[in-house]
């Protein structure tokens, strides 16, 4: 954790400690969010305006529409976060915002709002990588400290990360094609579920037989993933029913898909724990909300590992995790000139 962060204009040192309030803004995709978090772990206010209703009709996020919706929502969520916390900008020790990866037009709205607040109140600005924010969701309401292994599963990323300290991380494995959330959303779409399909597929899976159909697990590097073959196998399975005009056994297809994904993730994480000797594991990212993935990763507790996963509301995009990352992680962007970026550099 950084103990001192500097303002850009006055350049006076600002002490950030356990009692400091950090306000953060997140707008990387289709949620406009603002939160105030104390000492990196205690959420004082957490406001999220979701655009799901808007994008549902298109079956996915339309970047230009998303950016315009962020513009409309941004001041509302900021005001609401202040109101719920009962504080003003003068009570905030630093302002944080998501820099990337994400949709550029969307990121610009939130990041510029965070920068403006920092300048207006003469407080430090802290730019945050969205993926680090997902990891930091695990600091909320816990006593988690590095080192730990993280399984980051979101709409855009699937990674196994060695978090060695607050300043040093190493990605040891990742997907070579689709991210887990992307595979969920694509398969969900294939079987006719509305966007975002991941949570709906999860729900149907809970009523199905996970062993009804055997779907293939990809053979890739020891900590790496590949989900495009599984997606094609799911497509073939669906076609085997639709070609014969047979009704789709939706629950069983969903459960079998979920079983294949969750057992692959479980095996890879277990292997990473065994080979690195790490004793703690955290689950992070939107897909960390998945019932079966949570269950399997938590079962690592039976083998003596300590397992963390964010509360449901901190799994999908929110700003509390951004504030927490700003408090704990040292690999942040503290230059107010930092530009948004769409992909991991
Ligand atoms: O982390 P996130 O909010 O966005 C990115 O940073 O990418 O994750 C969104 C992804 C979507 O693909 C969504 O379908 C998936 O998380 N997701 C789920 C579940 N809840 C959200 N996937 C499977 N099961 C869930 N319960
Ligand atoms: Zn995210």
Residue 254 and residue 238: Cα distance in Å, rounded? 11
- Ligand 1 closest atom vs CA 156: 7
Residue whose token pair is 């497509």: 235
Distance 284 CA to ligand 2 centre (A): 9
Is the CATH number of domain 3-140+316-328 3.40.30.10?
A: no
Full-model pTM: 0.95
Which residue's alpha carbon is at the smallest distance from atom 7 of ligand 1?
A: 155
Which residue's alpha carbon is at the smallest distance from atom 14 of ligand 1?
A: 198
Which of 107, 184, 259, 294 is the pocket-test mutation for ligand 1 (most atoms within 8 Å of CB)?
184
Residue 179 and residue 227: Cα distance in Å, rounded? 7
Which residue's alpha carbon is at the smallest distance from atom 23 of ligand 1?
A: 198
Sign of CA dihedral 132, 222, 268, 259: positive
CB atoms within 10 A of CB 233: 18
List the structure tokens of 115: 């920068």
Distance 299 CA to ligand 2 centre (A): 24
Q: In this structure, which ligand is nearest to the CA of 283?
A: 1
Distance 27 CA to ligand 1 centre (A): 15
Common-topology check for domains 3-140+316-328 and 148-310? yes
pLDDT computed for residue 4 by the predictor? 66
DSSP code per residue over 269-329: HHHHHHHH---EEEEESGGGG-HHHHHHHHGGGGGT-EEE---GGGTSS-SHHHHHHHHH-
- Ligand 1 closest atom vs CA 153: 1
DSSP code per residue over 141-174: TS---S-EEEEEE-SS-EEEEEE-SSS-EEEEEE
pLDDT computed for residue 8 by the predictor? 65
Residue 304 and residue 164: Cα distance in Å, rounded? 20
pLDDT computed for residue 131 by the predictor? 96
List per-residue pLDDT tens for the chain, 345 residues long. Answer: 555 666 666 777 788 999 999 999 999 998 999 999 999 999 999 999 988 788 788 878 889 888 999 999 999 999 999 999 999 999 999 999 999 999 999 999 999 999 999 999 999 999 999 999 999 999 999 999 999 999 999 999 999 999 999 999 999 999 999 999 999 999 999 999 988 899 999 999 999 999 999 999 999 999 999 999 999 999 999 999 999 999 999 999 999 999 999 999 999 999 999 999 999 999 999 999 999 999 999 999 999 999 999 999 999 999 999 999 999 999 888 888 899 999 865
Ligand 1 pocket residues where CB is under 6 Å: 29, 154-156, 181, 184-185, 196, 198-199, 202, 285-287, 289-290, 316-317
Q: How far is CA 56 from CA 43, 82, 201, 225, 256, in A?
A: 30, 30, 15, 28, 25
Query: So where are the chain's domains?
Result: 3-140+316-328, 148-310
Residue 158 and residue 286: Cα distance in Å, rounded? 11
Q: In this structure, which ligand is nearest to the CA of 152?
A: 1
Is the CATH number of domain 148-310 3.40.50.10490?
A: no
Q: How many CA within 13 A on the CB side of residue 152?
A: 25
Residue 194 and residue 252: Cα distance in Å, rounded? 18
By DSSP bridging, strand 306-308 and strand 280-284 are: parallel
């Amino acid at each position: 954790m950084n103990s001192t962060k500097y303002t850009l204009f006055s350049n006076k040192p600002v002490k950030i400690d356990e009692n400091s309030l950090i306000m953060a803004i997140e707008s990387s995709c289709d949620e406009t969010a603002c939160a105030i978090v104390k000492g990196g772990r205690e959420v004082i206010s957490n406001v999220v305006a979701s655009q799901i209703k808007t994008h549902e009709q298109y079956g996915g996020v339309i970047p230009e529409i998303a950016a315009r919706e962020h513009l409309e929502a941004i001041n509302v969520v900021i005001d609401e976060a202040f109101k719920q916390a009962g504080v003003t900008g003068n009570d905030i020790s630093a302002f944080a915002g998501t820099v990337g990866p994400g949709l550029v037009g969307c990121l610009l709205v939130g990041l510029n709002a965070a920068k403006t607040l920092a300048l207006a109140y003469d407080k430090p600005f802290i730019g945050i990588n969205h993926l680090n924010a997902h990891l930091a969701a695990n600091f909320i309401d816990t006593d988690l400290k590095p080192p730990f292994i993280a399984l980051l599963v979101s709409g855009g990323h699937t990674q196994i990360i060695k978090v060695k300290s607050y300043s040093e991380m190493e990605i040891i494995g990742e997907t070579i094609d689709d991210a887990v959330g992307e595979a969920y959303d694509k398969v969900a779409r294939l079987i006719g579920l509305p966007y975002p399909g991941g949570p709906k597929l999860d729900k149907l899976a809970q009523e199905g037989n996970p062993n009804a159909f055997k779907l293939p697990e990809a053979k890739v590097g020891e900590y790496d993933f590949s989900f495009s073959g599984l997606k094609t196998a799911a497509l073939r399975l669906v076609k085997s029913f639709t070609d014969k005009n047979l009704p789709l056994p939706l629950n069983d297809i969903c459960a079998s898909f979920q079983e294949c994904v969750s057992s692959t993730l479980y095996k890879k994480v277990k292997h990473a724990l065994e080979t690195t000797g790490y004793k703690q594991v955290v689950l992070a990212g939107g897909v960390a909300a998945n019932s079966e993935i949570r269950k399997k990763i938590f079962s690592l507790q039976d083998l003596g590992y300590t397992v963390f996963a964010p509360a449901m509301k901190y799994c999908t995009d929110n700003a509390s995790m951004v504030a927490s990352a700003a408090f704990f992680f040292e690999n942040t962007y503290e230059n107010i000139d930092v530009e948004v970026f769409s992909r991991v550099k």
